[in-house]
């Protein structure tokens, strides 16, 4: 039986030390780690490698369940993949769970649903914040390449028949920037 660990944080600024320490204390032989957002189920190559490394009777150890998944369906898919390899999952922050039993797996699916709910609440708060900022007059996106005086001058040059590429050279920008003014 091999004990394989997996640790993840969401951003480059976050630290994996706490999770790795817990996984080492759990006697993990190999620890897969990554810094990747949990919102996307496709962007976790180290989790994929950790599951692929499991053999029959092995155990995938997670410091926290929500470090591996952010949705109920994703959590269930992870459990199914691990089960198909005849391996087990152990979650360190939920020591009362025996994930080798149907009740333990059901409880883990419930925790995955809670993680999905948290992700939706994060998205809703972010969307509400963006809407409030728009209402307050905040402009999102890239800064405009040309100021209003430059845009007015470029339009005047175009009206005088100056080719777009020549206008762009004089305005020190790409010709597609000028073409959007017409």
Q: Do 89 and 51 meet the contact criterion of CB atoms below 8 Å apart? A: no
Quote the CA–CA distance of 64 and 157 in Å, as a whole number: 62
H or E element that contains 52? helix 45-52
Residues recognised as catalytic: 10
Quote the CA–CA distance of 50 and 89 in Å, as a whole number: 11
Task: Report the greatest alpha carbon distance in the chain.
Answer: 79
Token pair in block for residue 67: 């470090």
């Amino acid at each position: 039986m091999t004990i394989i660990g997996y640790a993840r944080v969401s951003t480059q600024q976050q630290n994996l030390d706490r999770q790795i320490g817990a996984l080492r204390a759990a006697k993990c032989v190999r620890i897969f780690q990554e810094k990747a957002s949990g919102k996307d189920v496709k962007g976790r190559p180290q989790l994929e490698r950790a599951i692929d490394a499991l053999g029959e009777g092995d155990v995938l150890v997670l410091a926290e369940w929500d470090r591996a998944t952010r949705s109920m369906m994703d959590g269930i898919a992870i459990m199914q993949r691990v089960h198909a390899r005849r391996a087990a999952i152990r979650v360190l922050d939920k020591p009362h769970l025996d994930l080798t039993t149907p009740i333990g797996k059901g409880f883990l699916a419930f925790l995955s649903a809670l993680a999905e709910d948290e992700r939706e609440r994060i998205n809703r708060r972010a969307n509400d914040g963006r809407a409030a900022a728009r209402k307050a007059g905040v402009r999102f996106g890239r800064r405009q390449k040309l100021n209003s005086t430059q845009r007015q001058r470029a339009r005047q040059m175009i009206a005088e028949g100056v080719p777009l590429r020549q206008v762009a050279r004089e305005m020190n920008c790409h010709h597609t920037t000028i073409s959007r003014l017409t």
